[in-house]
Amino acid sequence: MRARVPASTSNIGPGFDVLGLALGLYVEVSVEDAERLTLTTEGEGSELARDASHLAVQVASAIKGHDRLAIHVNSEIPLGRGLGSSAALVAATAAAAGADDPLGIAARSDGHAENAAASVLGGLVAATFVDGRPVARRLPLDEELAFVVIVPDRELATKEARSLLPESVPFADAVSNLGRMGLLIAGLGDRLALVPGAGTDRLHQDARTALFPEAPRLLERLRRAGAVVSCWSGAGPSLLGICTSEEAAGRVVEAAHDALLEVALPGRVLLLRPDVDGLILRQS
């Protein structure tokens, strides 16, 4: 079997550990029974060891109950950049290996339900764990939105980024995020309702800036160029600019390239559309 799932961005400003959105970058995995284990890879992550330590091998072997498999991975999703590469790979591999619940497997493996849910369901999702099980729901999404993503040439481990977060936050900060998440959901459902304040976060972005000191300047440049909202993508270091028109997105892409040069940070700038299909499963 062959499975394809999209990348995801999560948090999206105030939606910490809750909101996920599928984006048009993909990982495709095929899994077939074979006489012995073979793993071939293309694209992002192809430099990783092609042996039993590979995440796709671990997932497929656990589902199949053996490692006599021919596995092929072709990925467009940068690793360690806050675009849900691990959740997407696990979901695609689980589906290709015949798992009944690729969302549950990916969510438990990744530890974050929102990335896995966005990759499997597509579109905009709200997701969390309830009684130890991932529960996710699709939310309305204006498909005319365009997303500009700055992808720095540096990895940022989610575990390291999470270690900087406080154990508790002021009540006012929690209320601020809840209110702005409501505004953000409304604006993502109808781009004409999107307002800059909807992207404000008080829970995680400032705490993580020590790991990415260029982030505030880059985020400001995205907004000045025409992104209505700019924010971290997941735990970073990718940064997201949300635009309400193709024209605005074009300006933001140019400004993002210039901003990377200004801060002397190597990286890429991607213009992406939301993916609304999620997991697609086909016969090999």
The answer to whether residues 122 and 6 touch, using CB atoms and an 8 Å cutoff, is: yes
Beta pairing partners, 269? 150
**pLDDT number for residue 174:** 96
**pLDDT number for residue 135:** 97
Distances in Å between the Cα of 75 and the Cα atoms of 15, 56, 63, 92 are 27, 12, 21, 11
**pLDDT number for residue 147:** 98
**pLDDT number for residue 121:** 98
Provide the strand spans (E) within 104-246: 124-130, 133-139, 146-152, 229-232, 239-243
**CA 211 and chain centroid, separation:** 19
User: What residues contact 93, with CB distance under 8 A and at least 6 apart?
Assistant: 3, 29, 31, 55, 56, 59, 60, 71, 73
**pLDDT number for residue 81:** 95
Q: How would you classify the pairing of strands 2-11 and 38-43?
A: unpaired
Q: Which of 260, 227, 220, 262 is nearest to 241 (CA)?
A: 227
**pLDDT number for residue 238:** 97
**CA 134 and chain centroid, separation:** 17
pLDDT tens per residue, range 134-160? 999 999 999 999 999 999 998 877 788
**pLDDT number for residue 69:** 98
DSSP state string for 61-99? HHHHTS--EEEEEEE-SPTTSSS-HHHHHHHHHHHHTT-
Return the amino acid letter for 9: T
How many residues are present in the chain?
284
Q: For 160, list phi and psi in degrees, rounded to 5.
A: -65, -45
Q: For 245, list phi and psi in degrees, rounded to 5.
A: -155, 160
The answer to whether residues 180 and 200 touch, using CB atoms and an 8 Å cutoff, is: yes
| 3-class state of residue 235 by DSSP | coil
Residues (pLDDT < 70) of the chain are: none
Q: Which of 153, 37, 23 is nearest to 85 (CA)?
A: 23
Q: How would you classify the pairing of strands 69-75 and 38-43?
A: parallel
Q: Structural domains in the chain?
A: 2-140 (3.30.230.10), 146-272 (3.30.70.890)
**pLDDT number for residue 187:** 98
